């Protein structure tokens, strides 16, 4: 009961008339106006930020979509050369020209990859490195030190210093002495 009575008394005291001076009233009005301005600025900033995020996401998607455009353009040029190399072979059975054309194209592809930061992993005759090589067999031999790469089955590549594909190799092993 006491809580109900206390609540009624508080309500009654709130209904009582409050008087303030004109200066205080003007300060309240000015404070309310400033608060509304700040709130409006906050809403505009939130909207601008949302638009920025959407625009940024769209730009990233566009960048990813067209990031390899220059590389693809150069690959198309190499594709054109492949087609030109096959023309003489198809028309006149000139396989020497085909061989020369394919060699030139292979050289172009290697140059294009190098220009774009792709490096071939050199491993033949070097110690086996499991960080960038994958051994698929051991070859017994006395000609090479143990754990030396003696055959490269598939070339490995780095993009800058990041492994793209490990080299697949065969590694030397000392022959079993029986």
Tens-place pLDDT, residues 110-154 = 999 999 899 999 999 999 999 999 999 999 988 889 999 999 999
Distance CA 10, CA 65 (A): 66
Residue 30 belongs to some domain of the structure: no
Q: What is the mean pLDDT of residues 41-70?
A: 93
Tens-place pLDDT, residues 63-115 = 888 888 888 888 888 888 888 777 776 777 777 877 888 888 999 999 999 99
Tell me what pLDDT residue 2 has: 67
Tell me what pLDDT residue 11 has: 67
Tally the domains of the chain. Answer: 1
Secondary structure element (H or E) that encloses residue 113, with its range: helix 95-115
Residue 149 belongs to some domain of the structure: yes
Residue 141 belongs to some domain of the structure: yes
Residue 175 belongs to some domain of the structure: yes
Tell me what pLDDT residue 31 has: 95
Tell me what pLDDT residue 12 has: 63
Instruction: Residue 174: count other Cβ atoms within 10 Å of its Cβ.
Output: 13
Distance CA 88, CA 78 (A): 17
Tens-place pLDDT, residues 10-47 = 666 666 677 889 999 999 999 999 999 999 999 999 99
Tell me what pLDDT residue 16 has: 66
Residue 156: which domain range? 119-178
Residue 155 belongs to some domain of the structure: yes
DSSP per-residue codes, 58-78 = HHHHHHHHHTTHHHHHHHHHH
Tell me what pLDDT residue 37 has: 96
Q: pTM of this prediction?
A: 0.60
Residue 150 belongs to some domain of the structure: yes
108: nearest Cα among 78, 68, 73, 84: 78
Residue 146 belongs to some domain of the structure: yes
Tell me what pLDDT residue 92 has: 74
Tell me what pLDDT residue 14 has: 60
Q: What is the mean pLDDT of residues 41-63?
A: 96
Residue 87 belongs to some domain of the structure: no
Task: Please check whether residue 146 is in contact with residue 174, taking contact to mean a CB–CB distance below 8 angstroms.
Answer: yes
Number of helices (H) and strands (E) in the chain: give both, helices first: 4, 6
Residues paired with 149 in a beta bridge: 171
């Amino acid at each position: 009961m006491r809580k109900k009575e206390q609540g009624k008394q508080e309500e009654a005291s709130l209904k009582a008339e409050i008087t303030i001076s004109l200066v205080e009233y003007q300060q309240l009005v000015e404070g309310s106006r400033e608060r509304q301005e700040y709130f409006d600025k906050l809403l505009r900033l939130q909207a601008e930020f949302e638009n920025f995020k959407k625009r940024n996401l769209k730009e990233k998607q566009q960048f990813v979509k067209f990031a390899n455009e220059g590389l693809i353009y150069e690959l198309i040029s190499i594709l054109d050369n492949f087609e030109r190399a096959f023309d003489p072979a198809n028309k006149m059975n000139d396989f020497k020209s085909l061989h020369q054309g394919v060699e030139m194209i292979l050289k172009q592809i290697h140059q294009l990859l190098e220009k774009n930061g792709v490096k071939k992993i050199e491993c033949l005759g070097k110690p086996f490195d499991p960080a960038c090589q994958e051994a698929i067999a051991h070859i017994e031999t006395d000609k090479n030190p143990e754990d030396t790469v003696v055959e490269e089955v598939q070339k490995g590549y780095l993009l800058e210093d990041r492994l793209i594909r490990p080299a697949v190799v065969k590694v030397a092993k000392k022959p079993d002495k029986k």
